[in-house]
């Protein structure tokens, strides 16, 4: 099973590729066509799109996460 996720944060235009096996996070150029373009267009319009993710939260800092805090 692949352990790679493409993420974007609400209010931001950048996309990121997270490779869990490699332990990397890299910027992804905005797609110009294809299914990922459709998904990013939906996101830009305010739609939340998830597939294969069971937990995703945005926090202010990594320190908050490592200390067990989540401001939901």
Q: What is the pTM of this model?
A: 0.78
pLDDT tens digits along 16-58: 999 999 999 999 998 999 999 999 999 889 999 998 888 888 8
pLDDT tens digits along 3-12: 999 999 888 8
**Domain boundaries of the chain, sorted by first residue:** 4-66
- The closest alpha carbon to 53, from 67, 39, 37, belongs to 39
7 burial type by CB count under 10 A (0-12 exposed, 13-18 middle, 19+ buried): middle
- The closest alpha carbon to 26, from 14, 36, 37, 35, belongs to 14
- The closest alpha carbon to 29, from 48, 43, 8, belongs to 8
44 burial type by CB count under 10 A (0-12 exposed, 13-18 middle, 19+ buried): exposed
* pLDDT band with cut points at 50, 70 and 90 for residue 1: low
């Amino acid at each position: 099973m692949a352990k790679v996720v493409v993420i974007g944060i609400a209010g931001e235009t950048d996309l990121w590729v997270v490779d869990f096996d490699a332990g990397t996070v890299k910027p992804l150029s905005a797609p110009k066509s294809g299914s990922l373009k459709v998904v990013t267009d939906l996101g830009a319009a305010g739609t939340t799109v998830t597939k294969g993710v069971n937990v995703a939260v945005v926090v202010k800092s990594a320190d908050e996460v490592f200390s067990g805090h989540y401001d939901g």
